[in-house]
Amino acid sequence: MKITEGPYAPVDGGGIEYETGALLGSNLLIDNLHAISKANEVCNRYGMDTISAGAAIAWSMEAFEKGIVTEKETQGLKISWGDAGVMMELIHQMANRRGFGAILAEGSKRAADFIGRESSRFTVQVKNLDLPGHDPRCFNGLGLGYATSNRGACHTNNFAYVYMGRTSDSSLGIPKPFDRLSNEGVGKVVAAVQDLMALCDSLNICKFTAFGLQADDLHRWLNWVTGWDLPFEEFLKTGERIYNLKRLYNVKCGITRKDDTLPERILTHNRPGLHAPERLPDLGKMLDEYYLVRGWDQNGIPRKEQLEALGLGEY
C-alpha cells in the first residue's frame, strides 16, 4: 500500500492484514485506513506486535473513559476512543518507553495491575497474552483453545474453529464438521488440532496449508521426504508429546487450571447477533472433558501414567 498525501503520508508497504485492521482499527473505533496503515508501518519498524499494541491502547482508552486513568497519569494526553492521533502517539511512547506509554509497554495485563482500581476486569487476555481478532463466543472450540494454549490466547495454537462448521478430517478423528456452539465433544477436537498444530510447527510448514489437507497426507509426505516408515499413530503421538512437554514446562512455572480461563467479558457478556447467538461458552464443562481426553488431572496437570505412555516418564 502506498499513501503519498495526507497527514499519515508517506506509507509504503504491504498494507495491513486482518489482525492489524481489527486491533488497531475497529477495536479502537478507528476507521481511518490511512492512519491504521501508518500505525502498522510504525509498529513493523519498531518490531512491535500490532495485536498486543492495539489491545494495550484499547485498555487505556477504556480506563481513561471510566476515569481510572486520568490526565495526571497520561501527562495531559486525552486518550479517547477513535482518536488516530492518540493511537500514533501511544505507539511511539510504548516503543520508546516514555510517558504513559512506558506503562503500556508492559502489556495490558501488567498495565492494569500497575494502575489497579479493578482495571484488570476489562483486559482481554489469557495468561497475559491478548486475544486476537477472533471472538470465542462464536466458536466454543476457539474459547477452549485460548484457555488451554500454553502461551495464552493464541489463535495459531489451535485453529479448531476451522473444523467447526467448515471442514473435517477423518484421519484426525473429526469425520464431519463440528457444531461450533456445542459444549460437548469439544475437548477431543481441540486436543487433536492442538497436536496437529504442534506437528506443523515442527515440520516448518504453513498451518493454512494444513486446512486443505488431511493429517494422514502430512504423515505420508513426511515419510516420503525422510525415507522413514513412521506409523501414523506415532506421528500423531509426536504432536501430543510436544504439547505435553510444553504443558510440563508451564506446570513447573505454576500454571494450573486457574490459568486455563477466559476474560470475564467472554464468559459473562452476551453479544447476540447473526453469528453470535445469545449463548456463552461453558468453559468449566469443556475443561473437564479436555483434561480427561488429555490424560491430565482435573487441575490440568499431566498424570504420571499419561507421561509414561508418551515416553515422557522421566518428567
Per-residue 3-state assignment (H helix, E strand, C coil) for the chain:
CEECCCCCCCEECCCCCHHHHHHCCHHHCCCCHHHHHHHHHHHHHHCCCHHHHHHHHHHHHHHHHCCCCCHHHHCCCCCCCCCHHHHHHHHHHHHHCCCCHHHHCCCHHHHHHHHCCCHHHHCCEECCEECCCCCCCCCHHHHHHHHHCCCCCCHHHCCHHHHCCCCCEHHHCECCCCCCCCCCCHHHHHHHHHHHHHHHHHHCCCHHHHCCCCHHHHHHHHHHHHCCCCCHHHHHHHHHHHHHHHHHHHHHCCCCHHHCCCCHHHHHCCCCCCCCCCCCCCHHHHHHHHHHHHCECCCCCECHHHHHHCCCCCC
What does the pLDDT read at residue 182? 86
Top CATH class of 140-309 equals mainly alpha
What does the pLDDT read at residue 22? 96
Q: What is the second-level CATH architecture of the domain 2-123? A: Orthogonal Bundle (1.10)
Q: Which of 224, 242, 257, 261 is nearest to 312 (CA)?
A: 242
Query: Within the chain, which residue ranges are assigned CATH 1.10.599.10?
Result: 140-309
What does the pLDDT read at residue 45? 93
Please list the pLDDT of the chain residue by residue as tens digits (315 residues). 777 777 877 887 778 899 999 999 999 999 999 999 999 999 999 999 999 999 999 999 999 999 999 999 999 999 999 999 999 999 999 999 999 999 999 999 999 999 998 899 889 999 999 999 988 888 899 999 999 999 999 988 888 888 887 788 899 998 888 888 888 999 999 999 999 999 999 999 888 887 788 999 999 999 999 999 999 999 999 999 999 999 999 999 999 999 999 999 899 888 766 566 667 889 999 999 999 999 999 999 999 999 999 999 999
pTM equals 0.91
What does the pLDDT read at residue 81? 97
Query: Within the chain, which residue ranges are assigned CATH 1.10.569.10?
Result: 2-123
